[in-house]
């Protein structure tokens, strides 16, 4: 190589050494001095994630605009376990005609309810049914009901409205006025069970009458098993 080429190569090498040295020194100076909070605060804008997620809409509010027809569509997934027509037979689960307003885990032509559900007591109010559909295992710890729960609050409201239209016909609650808390159910075990569910709305969820499959899955009940006789909840 001639002198000119050597000179250019030397300058390039020197520049690389200077750049590397600058990076190393800069890292030594700023290492461990990262600001605790990056960026600048803007007035009127909350930090992302601050304050947690939005509060769930009360079931009374959702029931005021619930659609029983949509609830009937969701309820089709329950047909492997439940009937809902008047005088319908019990299957894996009890017949659900006129369930809202009835005593919990009683009647239903002698269906064999689990002791866990019997222990809840009380009646199937809208709040109680909402808690049950959210997570049966939270509502009645030890229940033999196998579906994991229905995660969408509006789906639950629609199903409850549909259940109510099938023999119960209880007056649907009016939506509470702005800033007004919805009326609470009577106390006792039902209220305690509903509160337990409300405190853990992130429990496993799925479709009604599903046996633990994802919410988008089809019911995983074996029709042959359904024909063998009723099964406790």
Alpha-carbon distance 120 to 63, whole Å? Answer: 24
Domains: count for the chain: 1
27 in a structural domain? no
Which range of residues forms the domain containing residue 217?
59-175+185-224
109 in a structural domain? yes
Q: Which of 216, 97, 93 is nearest to 151 (CA)?
A: 216
233 in a structural domain? no
Q: In Å, how far are 115, 149, 177 from 137, measured between CA atoms?
A: 13, 9, 32
Mean pLDDT for the chain? 74
211 in a structural domain? yes
22 in a structural domain? no
pLDDT higher at 1 or 74: 74
**pLDDT for 41-60, tens place per residue?**
444 333 434 444 567 789 99
User: pTM value?
Assistant: 0.61
CATH of the domain at 134: 1.10.760.10
Q: DSSP labels for 113-162? A: --HHHHHH-SB--HHHHHHHHH-HHHHSTT----------HHHHHHHHHH
Q: Which residues pair with 123 in a beta bridge?
A: 103
Model pLDDT, residue 44: 38
Model pLDDT, residue 3: 63
Q: How many CA atoms lie within 13 A of 166 on its CB side?
A: 21
Model pLDDT, residue 66: 95
Q: In Å, how far are 76, 132, 174, 201, 203 from 214, measured between CA atoms?
A: 16, 18, 33, 16, 13
72 in a structural domain? yes
153 in a structural domain? yes
Q: Is 93 within 8 Å of 112 (Cβ atoms)? A: no
């Amino acid at each position: 190589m001639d002198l000119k080429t050597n000179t250019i190569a030397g300058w390039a090498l020197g520049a690389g050494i200077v750049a590397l040295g600058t990076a190393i020194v800069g890292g030594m100076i700023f290492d461990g001095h990262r600001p605790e909070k990056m960026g600048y605060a803007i007035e009127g804008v909350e930090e992302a994630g601050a304050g947690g997620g939005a509060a769930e809409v009360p079931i009374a509010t959702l029931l005021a605009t619930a659609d029983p027809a949509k609830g009937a569509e969701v309820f089709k997934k329950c047909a492997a376990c439940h009937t809902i027509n008047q005088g319908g037979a019990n299957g894996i689960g009890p017949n659900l005609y006129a369930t809202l307003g009835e005593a919990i885990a009683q009647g239903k032509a002698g269906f064999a309810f689990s002791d866990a559900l019997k222990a809840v007591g009380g009646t199937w109010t809208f709040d109680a049914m909402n808690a049950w559909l959210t997570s049966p295992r939270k509502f009645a710890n030890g229940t033999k009901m196998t579906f994991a729960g229905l995660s969408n609050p509006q789906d639950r409201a629609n199903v409850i409205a549909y259940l109510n239209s099938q023999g119960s016909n209880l007056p649907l609650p009016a939506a509470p006025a702005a800033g007004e808390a919805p009326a609470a159910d009577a106390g006792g075990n039902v209220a305690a069970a509903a509160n337990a569910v409300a405190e853990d709305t992130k429990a496993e969820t799925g479709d009604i009458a599903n046996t633990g499959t994802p919410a988008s899955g089809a019911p995983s009940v074996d029709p042959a098993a359904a024909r063998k006789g009723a099964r406790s909840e």
